[in-house]
Structure 1
Amino acid sequence: MAQPSTTALPVQLQSLSKFYGAVHAVEDVSFDIKAGEFLTLLGPSGSGKTTLLMMIAGFNRPTKGSIRIGGQEIVHLPPHKRNIGMVFQNYALFPHMSVGENIAYPLRLRKIGRAEVEDRVRKALDLVQLGGYADRRTSELSGGQRQRVALARAIIFEPRILLMDEPLSALDKQLRETMQIEIRKLHDRLGMTTISVTHDQREALTMSDRIAVFSKGRLAQVATPTCLYDQPQSQFIAEFIGESSFLPLRKASGGLAYGGQVIQFAETSPDTFDKPMLMLRPERLHLCALEEANKGADGNIFDGQVQTVVFQGDSLLYEVVLSEGHRVVVRVPNRSDDLRRMPQAGNRVALRLDRADTRIVRAEG
């Protein structure tokens, strides 16, 4: 995590809920956000993430619960008294104003003197790499440049917290990926407590110190990107963060079993779930011909048949149906010297999962 600035403040959410009649948009959410942390609220549409962000911003009033910034309760404060910067999905720039006037607007509202406004606008433009653009019209800017202007306007008055609602969704894929890194760099320079909303799991993994995953209005798990990816607590999280295949396990005398074999784990076999599922990340599986498989290897071996092979540029995606009938997806890096030796559709193959990569999750439903 970036070193927090001296003005960065922590955020505490306690038993936060928002009900619309019988619809529970957000239900009983509690967690803390560290000062200077970049936290992303991640989840599918309708999961409650934007509703939660708008409650922090002050645009939605919670049905119940507490929101504290730096230890101060803010639930009863209007948005303009919370000292929070906001970047909206559509940027919300004023088309009749120049770039400089858009960025200066929060300072004008605060009755800041002209000389200081001009100085801070110039510094803000330099910070987002738009030096010299103050007199441009916003209609003359690209999507990425408008997003930078919206960022500059949100941070120019030095807010305690920065909130971003799907800030990159309007950009094309290549520009979106570039801006993810630029925003992260900007956050590291400013050290500002930042809370962002997205439904894009790769964006969340790229930008965040921690990610809070939401499902049906409830907090499913909050953890670092690495922990969420490698140690998801449920099948839903494993499916939403990256790609996964799943195999149902049953309890056996030697631990947890699939088919006729007891699954090997790096540590003691876990048995905390009523319906345990073996999580298979496609890039963690090793694909080889049956005759090359080492049955005594330190890992778990599964036999199957290749159904399809899909070329995806940097990798090949294999769909393999195991002997027990379950479908598993395997991703293999595209290395030209390996392609001629790789199995083809219809070939019998073996999949090896190293013990260190063997994880179970809780089944949904």
Structure 2
Amino acid sequence: MTNSSTTALPVSIQSLSKHYGAVRAVDSVSFDIDAGEFLTLLGPSGSGKTTLLMMIAGFTRPNAGSIRIDGQEIVHLPPHKRNIGMVFQNYALFPHMTVGENVAYPLRLRKIPRAEIEDRVNRVLDLVRLAGYGARRITELSGGQRQRIALARAIVFEPRILLMDEPLSALDKQLRDTMQIEIRKLHDRLRMTTISVTHDQREALTMSDRIAVFSKGRLEQVASPVELYERPESRFIAGFIGESSFLPLHRDARGICFGDQQINLAQDADGVDGDSLLMLRPERLRIVSPGDVTNMDDNLFDGQVVTAAFQGESLLYEVMLSGGQKVFVRAANRSENLRAMPQAGEKVTLRLGRADTRIVRAGG
């Protein structure tokens, strides 16, 4: 395989739409993907992400809009003329062929000379760490090995773009976690422009340079994993990426408030109005005693533990605030946290550092 850093191409999506009767599967979506970028389309089932991927691949025809690769319009090109590699959700491997024959299939379609086919197949199998597996049957492979063969077949002809539709959904959790790292390492080595679809937010956070979040056919936000997690633009995104609780805010003469309590913000409060919510990430809240609070800019909330759960690597608490709102607190499994673990019914004080306050809009 050649290094694709010099041949990776940018993709531009402009006003792309796909309708099925009254259903707007993809509704006027626009964004750009940089050459060599790993971008993930993330969203719940029915959000439009797979339909968008199929339009890029050429298997679904849009009702309107443009898809350009390196400035070239490809909407009217059939799939086989787009030079795009595709990893399907079910891998779509041929069970009657050997591993080598599966990987060689796209090269034979392109009438590559036999000697070159053999060389390319051997090199790509080595790249996905399955050297020597060429003579094996597909039925002799594990789930993780089949996933690697599907990936090898998608990149063996050195496509301009690699598309992946839920590539890890068929794997168990432990193998899925391992393959996330393996695919990312392979992407970093090849620097091929990659567009992947998933509904798994942890998978998206682990593998992506940027994530495009979809809901009901519309693009909600495109950002890096860190920016998306730390600064989501709406309640939908904050709730879909990670875990969050939300408290309603209002503005009065004192400033921004939750109920009768003034909230100290780390961000500009100019845009905060009646449609704004305080986002509480469970890992950013701490259960404290009043004597532990030394920074008076921290935000404190009184409440009562509803449930306390030991989850192995962490402790999860459901807390009812004095105003009746339920929030969740997650503490790392450390000896001091285990010793001081409050039980259901105990009154507690929660601390949210000013630097950890985040405001999102209620809509979206």
Instruction: Give the TM-score normalised by structure 1.
Output: 0.97
Whether the 8 Å contact between 2:250 and 2:273 is mirrored in structure 1 is no
Counterpart-to-counterpart distance in 2, 1:124 and 1:351: 53
Query: Match of 1:32, as an amino acid?
Result: D
Identify if the C-alpha distance between structure 1 residues 273 and 187 changes in structure 2 by more than 3 Å, giving closer, same or farther.
Answer: farther
Query: Match of 1:346, as an amino acid?
Result: G
Whether the 8 Å contact between 1:295 and 1:301 is mirrored in structure 2 is no
| Aligned equivalent of 1:195 | 195
- Structure 1 portions without partners, runs of 5+: none
Query: Match of 1:113, as an amino acid?
Result: P
Superposed CA offset, 1:73-113 (max 9, x none): 00000000000000000000011100000000011011111
Query: Match of 1:93, as an amino acid?
Result: L
Whether the 8 Å contact between 1:19 and 1:25 is mirrored in structure 2 is yes
| Aligned equivalent of 1:344 | 343
Whether the 8 Å contact between 2:25 and 2:216 is mirrored in structure 1 is yes
| Aligned equivalent of 2:132 | 132
Superposed CA offset, 1:95-139 (max 9, x none): 110000000001101111111100000000000000000000000
Q: Could you tell me how far 1:4 is from its partner in structure 2?
A: 6.5
Q: Could you tell me how far 1:273 is from its partner in structure 2?
A: 4.9
Counterpart-to-counterpart distance in 2, 1:272 and 1:161: 41
- Structure 2 portions without partners, runs of 5+: none
Whether the 8 Å contact between 2:232 and 2:360 is mirrored in structure 1 is yes
Counterpart-to-counterpart distance in 1, 2:26 and 2:111: 37
Counterpart-to-counterpart distance in 1, 2:270 and 2:183: 39
Query: Match of 1:213, as an amino acid?
Result: V
Which residues of 2 match residues 1-365 of structure 1 at below 5 A?
A: 5-289=5-289, 291-294=290-293, 297-364=296-363
**Comparing 301-310 and 341-350, the one that deviates more:** 341-350
Counterpart-to-counterpart distance in 2, 1:136 and 1:244: 47
Counterpart-to-counterpart distance in 1, 2:295 and 2:223: 35
Identify if the C-alpha distance between structure 1 residues 304 and 4 changes in structure 2 by more than 3 Å, giving closer, same or farther.
Answer: farther
Q: Could you tell me how far 1:254 is from its partner in structure 2?
A: 2.6
Q: Could you tell me how far 1:268 is from its partner in structure 2?
A: 2.9
Whether the 8 Å contact between 2:88 and 2:164 is mirrored in structure 1 is yes
Counterpart-to-counterpart distance in 1, 2:273 and 2:259: 19
Whether the 8 Å contact between 2:266 and 2:358 is mirrored in structure 1 is no
Q: Could you tell me how far 1:293 is from its partner in structure 2?
A: 4.9
Q: Could you tell me how far 1:11 is from its partner in structure 2?
A: 0.2
Counterpart-to-counterpart distance in 2, 1:76 and 1:304: 60
Superposed CA offset, 1:281-326 (max 9, x none): 000011113x435386221111101111011001100110001110
Whether the 8 Å contact between 1:4 and 1:35 is mirrored in structure 2 is no
Query: Match of 1:362, as an amino acid?
Result: R
SS of structure 1 residue aligned to 2:117: helix
**Comparing 69-78 and 348-357, the one that deviates more:** 348-357
Structure 1 runs (4+) deviating above 3 angstroms are none
Counterpart-to-counterpart distance in 1, 2:142 and 2:18: 37
C-alpha RMSD of matched pairs (Å): 1.3
Whether the 8 Å contact between 1:273 and 1:361 is mirrored in structure 2 is no
Query: Match of 1:21, as an amino acid?
Result: G
Taking every aligned residue pair, what percent have the same amino acid on both sides?
74
Identify if the C-alpha distance between structure 1 residues 210 and 29 changes in structure 2 by more than 3 Å, giving closer, same or farther.
Answer: same
Counterpart-to-counterpart distance in 2, 1:159 and 1:55: 17
Superposed CA offset, 1:223-265 (max 9, x none): 0000000000000000000000000011112321012221111
Whether the 8 Å contact between 2:18 and 2:63 is mirrored in structure 1 is yes
Q: Could you tell me how far 1:343 is from its partner in structure 2?
A: 1.9
Whether the 8 Å contact between 2:44 and 2:215 is mirrored in structure 1 is yes
